[in-house]
Structure 1
């Protein structure tokens, strides 16, 4: 594998495994986006607008489509039936190193505690390793986000020994720690329940 190359992200039509189906967002998903992202926990840990209303959902969907068209990112709805969005997983070039693929995720408040984030991250990471072949697959998680750190551990990610990543989100600086996917196969790791 050439670890010095950058990559262009091309969205899969669908990804399926571990009891989840990942699919691209559709124009008809605006109300579902609002239900997922208009939540205090999403506002606390993600850079999405807060409050997250229909207008914010339109802008978010337009940004997702623009990023996809430019080959910079892929945003996929997490579903169990291929239709109803329960959350989202994102794949994008890391700002810290464009040879790394960063994953991010969120699950709507009504759907937490079902292992959806872990299953979606596992599926997206396997897809990335198989099809995109980045130098590394990473997660950037705010210190104190215990739920996301638990997902990272359960999906074979380990805390990387590198300086924190600093980003500005809604006018405030956020300090994130980098987690890297271990080299051991994902399928041998314990799947979150």
Structure 2
């Protein structure tokens, strides 16, 4: 894994952990609930992706620095949650960066194991948004990525671009960085332009 991807993975883990923890606090969960939602939001997508790819045990359960970062971020959020309500904009950017990092890492891993288009796109997207879906389910809500905002769509586009360029032989290190930045930019653009997919209503 490239240094850029490693760093942004940690940014994503921390941002997603804070996101999950804030959701748990909003639902009046105790410390265990906060840690559980923080862990689920940040790492469950990668765990599910590994299981789909036949990687057992999943990396996020045996590479201790990842869950450690999630646990620490969740506990800090629990202890200072009032402070985090005033830093929403930086968290949005960190979340978007994490979305890009997880999309790139998931798509890269899937392509390295089997260069199949649907597999690469699905694994890239699940890695990026699967944790958020589980967070909302645990919080007894319809998953946010299925109801509003241009979020999972940015990951789908990023994963599709990864597959297309990888098939053309673009070097892996450059490609993962490119997809990370493209997904990140798409998400920020969607926030600024208030992009949403149409719904029946």
Give the TM-score of the pair, scaled to structure 1. 0.37
Give the TM-score of the pair, scaled to structure 2. 0.36
Relative CO higher for 1 or 2, CA cutoff 8 Å, sep ≥ 6?
Answer: 2
Of Structure 1 and Structure 2, the greater helix share is in 2
